Copies of this chain bind each other. A is one copy, B any other.
């Protein structure tokens, strides 16, 4: 049986001689329940989410390894609450407790918003898959907001060339917004994912709704027919909304249409920023 002294020897404290610095090392697919704010226009609004997280730090070339359990403890110490400010706090703790030069985190979760049917007024909840990412190093903090907005898209070509009907399908619009801050700058995310979701839904052939009565179904069927959108149109509509928005540093839009006439999808990507 090894002596107690052996338990003290921490192999992570050995030196490494391969001369390889590691950009990111940590834990992933960590599931944790959180109360999250900062997703809605109302910055104080919050929701319970089941999040999947990734927490990591950089590692200098001489050091053999990090302390993985400390990363989990930093998460636990957030007491289950996260806001934009909280993300920055967590990044600082990850970095300091590992004495690292940089720290990163990401979390993905479903967030629910009420959606109201256009004619009947029936209200139901719709899930939006969101992600938040953060990267902190000596000089800078980068915060990333991502959301996937499902919509209805109807094909202009199909409508144009056919005597009647037009193929339509679910489309998925992924928006990624990047915000850069100086490491000691006060964080201010003045654009919410709720606002992005509304802009995307307004630019589609039609939004999706959790509940539709017959009067609503008629409404969205006809709206989509009146508002055909190629995948090129969808991605451009959202790009126009994002490109001149001073609240955003860098952005990317990816639209994927699950074409109803093919087994494969159509997609388009646009990115920009300063």
Interface flag for A196 (CB, 8 Å): no
CB contacts under 8 Å to B, within A14-54, are 16, 18, 20-33, 47-50, 54
- The reply to whether B64 and A264 contact each other, CB–CB distance below 8 Å, is no
In this complex, the interface size class of chain A, counting residues with CB under 8 Å from chain B, is 35 or more
A157 with B23: in contact, given A31-B263, A230-B65, A260-B168 (CB under 8 Å)? no
Which residue of chain B lies nearest to A270 when distances are taken between CB atoms in the complex?
A: B22
A33 to B36, CA, bound (A): 14
- The reply to whether A25 and B222 contact each other, CB–CB distance below 8 Å, is no
CB contacts under 8 Å to B, within A220-240, are 220-222, 224-225, 230-233, 235-237, 239-240
Surface stretch bound by B, among A83-91, A93-101, A124-132, A184-192: A124-132
Q: Given B10, B21, B261, B267, which contacts A28 in the complex, CB threshold below 8 Å?
A: B267
A166 with B163: in contact, given A26-B266, A236-B22 (CB under 8 Å)? no
Q: Which of chain B's residues have a CB closer than 8 A to the CB of A12?
A: 157, 230
Q: Which of chain B's residues have a CB closer than 8 A to the CB of A2?
A: 161-163
- The reply to whether A167 and B152 contact each other, CB–CB distance below 8 Å, is yes
- The reply to whether A152 and B214 contact each other, CB–CB distance below 8 Å, is no
Interface flag for A68 (CB, 8 Å): yes
Q: Given B9, B16, B48, B265, which contacts A29 in the complex, CB threshold below 8 Å?
A: B265
Q: Which of chain B's residues have a CB closer than 8 A to the CB of A271?
A: 23
Interface flag for A262 (CB, 8 Å): yes
- The reply to whether A168 and B168 contact each other, CB–CB distance below 8 Å, is yes
Interface flag for A136 (CB, 8 Å): no
Surface stretch bound by B, among A137-145, A173-181, A202-210: A202-210
- The reply to whether B154 and A11 contact each other, CB–CB distance below 8 Å, is no
Interface flag for A76 (CB, 8 Å): yes
Q: Which of chain B's residues have a CB closer than 8 A to the CB of A66?
A: 232
Q: Which of chain B's residues have a CB closer than 8 A to the CB of A21?
A: 270
What are 13 of the A-B contact pairs (CB < 8 Å)?
A: A7-B215, A10-B214, A20-B270, A26-B268, A27-B265, A30-B264, A31-B112, A54-B267, A76-B211, A126-B263, A165-B168, A167-B168, A212-B262
